[in-house]
Amino acid sequence: MDLPQQVIELDELTLRRFDGAADLPELFRVIEESLEHLRPWMPWIAEHSRDRTAEFLARRAERWASGEDHTYAIVLDGAIIGACGLFRRGDTPANGREIGYWLHPAATGRGVATRATRALVEQAFRLPGVDYVEVVHDTANHASGAVPARLHRTSPAPRRAPRPGRHR
């Protein structure tokens, strides 16, 4: 099975696989500092605890190997500032992947989520059989919705033929 890159370097920004228990103290702290920022959008915040964060990290290696979930720490200047992932939910067709992301509030508004998402889209289309990628977000979360809007590719406007009688 082909798997996404484990480390993705994006200039000063790095996406890397979580390192199990080694990332627990820092990830837990970043989530703690982000609780109010994430609460309206991330249902898992309601059950947030150090134990739940440890459980989340403990499952990453197995889920990565199975191809079910490729979750990355978003690292800026050597510090975790959020997380992003490329995954399949139970009802997602085999040819599709979903991308999710969240950031510490101090890291928002700087294009971090957009760059991370662009990198995950590239990784997704390297996986065999993947035909589409989607970002599912609460429509009230305008900042999150702006990320896929910035990445959406449109075709250039068709060229018009010169009008009769006009020469170039």
User: Per residue in 80-107, pLDDT tens?
Assistant: 999 999 998 878 788 899 999 999 999 9
pLDDT computed for residue 167 by the predictor: 45
pLDDT computed for residue 156 by the predictor: 43
Judge whether residue 79 has pLDDT over 70: yes
**Mean pLDDT, rounded, for 46-59:** 96
**34-37 CB contacts, 8 Å cutoff, 24+ apart:** 34/82, 34/102, 34/103, 34/104, 34/105, 37/104, 37/105, 37/108
Are the C-beta atoms of residues 97 and 136 closer than 8 Å to each other? no
Q: Which two tokens stand for residue 108?
A: 């928002």
Q: How far is CA 152 from CA 114, 145, 165, in A?
A: 11, 11, 38
Higher pLDDT, 110 or 91: 110
**Mean pLDDT, rounded, for 68-88:** 95
pLDDT tens, residue by residue, 133-157: 988 877 777 777 777 778 775 434 4
| Sequence-distant (≥ 6) Cβ neighbours of residue 2 within 8 angstroms | 126, 127, 128
Predicted TM-score (pTM) of the model is: 0.85
Mean pLDDT taken over the chain: 87
pLDDT computed for residue 10 by the predictor: 94
CA dihedral 145, 49, 36, 32 (to 10 degrees): -100
Measuring CA to CA, which residue among 133, 123, 127, 129 is closest to residue 99?
133
In 18-67, which ranges are E strands?
Answer: none
Q: State the amino acid at position 4 in one-letter form.
A: P
